Chain A
């Protein structure tokens, strides 16, 4: 079935380090891909998205490229900050009316100064 697999955390980095969180997917058709971020005690915020192969989503220094050949959507940031500490969720949408997002298990990022 359709699914999202992302690297398990926690990921612990020092400030200004390079971040990669891996995400791969299995889906029929042509899904859209998303990264959401969740800060403690809050709901999910859309970080970035890509709707077709080779699209690059970017926001707040984060980037992810939709790679259909490797069915991946890895999240990267060149220089993390303490404020980036949160849980990151990779998700896909099958682009069918009435269907919910399919989430990965989430990756906790902890950045220390």
Chain B
């Protein structure tokens, strides 16, 4: 089945630094990937839609200069949290759709803690 690999699974960084999270589709090509943020005991909040070879589409209220998304190939999308602050601490999850009726496959998530 379709597999999406996301790493790192956990990262702790100092306030003011940047952190990059990678999301790879291992056995299929994903022209579109999605980035979500999840707060404790809450649902997933869509942050942006990442399109291969073009600019990401951000949801309202998401700072595109803070959350940089790059989708340079059909199998890789990256989310960079720039100048991270403690309020950026959260669980970030990526997702990719294989197309047709295959549904959406999710990465295992990244727990970001900014200290």
Contacts and interface: CB of A to CB of B under 8 A. Distances in A.
B95 A100 contact: yes
A91 to B, nearest CB: 8
Interface of A: 32, 34, 36, 41-46, 49, 51, 89, 93, 97-101, 103-106, 108
B111 A104 contact: no
Contacts of B101: 32, 51
B111 A44 contact: no
B43 interface: yes
Contacts of B95: 44, 100-101
Contacts of A51: 101
Given A32-B101, A43-B6, A98-B51, A106 B43 contact: yes
Interface of B: 6, 31-32, 34, 41-44, 46, 49, 51, 93, 95, 101, 103-109, 111
A98 B31 CA distance: 8
A101 B104 contact: yes
B42 A106 contact: yes
Contact of A100 (B6, B49, B107, B109): B49
B103 A41 contact: no
8 contacts: A34-B103, A43-B6, A43-B93, A44-B93, A93-B103, A100-B95, A103-B43, A105-B43
Contact of B109 (A43, A97, A99): A43
Interface centre among A46, A49, A108 (most CB of B within 10 A): A46
A14 to B, nearest CB: 23
A104 B34 contact: no
Nearest to B35: A100
Interface centre among B42, B49, B103 (most CB of A within 10 A): B103
Contacts of A106: 42-43
B15 to A, nearest CB: 23
Given A46-B105, A98-B51, 11 more contacts: A34-B104, A42-B109, A44-B95, A44-B106, A49-B103, A98-B31, A99-B49, A100-B95, A101-B104, A104-B43, A106-B43
